[in-house]
Amino acid sequence: MGSSTRIFFAEALGTAILIIGGVGTAVFDAQRAGVLGVALAFGLSLLAAAYLIGPISGCHINPAISAAMVVVRKTDAKLLPAYVGGQVLGGLFGALLIWSVAQGHPGFTATGTDGRPTVVSVSETGFASNGYGIHSPDHYNLGAVILAEVVATALFALVVLATTARGFPVPMGGLVAGVGLTLVHLVTIPVSNTSVNPARSLATAVFQHGWALSQLWVFIIFPLLGGALAGLGWNALKQMQAAGVAAKAAASPELATSEVD
Q: What is the CATH number of the domain that holds 44?
A: 1.20.1080.10
260 in any annotated domain: no
Does the residue 75 lie in any domain?
yes
Start-to-end C-alpha separation, the chain: 30
For residue 250, is it within any domain? yes
Q: How many domains in the chain?
A: 1
Cβ neighbours of residue 83 closer than 8 Å, sequence gap 6 or more: 7, 8, 11, 57, 60, 63, 66, 75
C-alpha angle with apex 70: 146 to 214, nearest 5 degrees?
30
Other Cβ atoms within 10 Å of 165 Cβ, number: 15
Encode the chain (261 residues) as per-residue pLDDT tens digits.
Answer: 789 999 999 999 999 999 999 999 999 988 889 999 999 999 999 999 999 999 999 999 999 999 999 999 999 999 999 999 999 999 999 999 999 998 888 777 776 544 444 343 333 446 899 999 999 999 999 999 999 999 999 999 999 999 988 888 988 999 999 999 999 999 999 999 999 999 999 999 999 988 999 999 999 999 999 999 999 999 998 888 777 767 777 776 655 555 555
Residues of the domain holding 55? 3-255
In a domain, 244, yes or no: yes
86 inside domain: yes
Residue 261 covered by a domain: no
147, part of any domain = yes
69: in domain: yes
Closest Cα partner for 135 from 195, 185, 90? 195
Please give the distance of CA 48 from its chain centroid, rounded to a whole number: 14
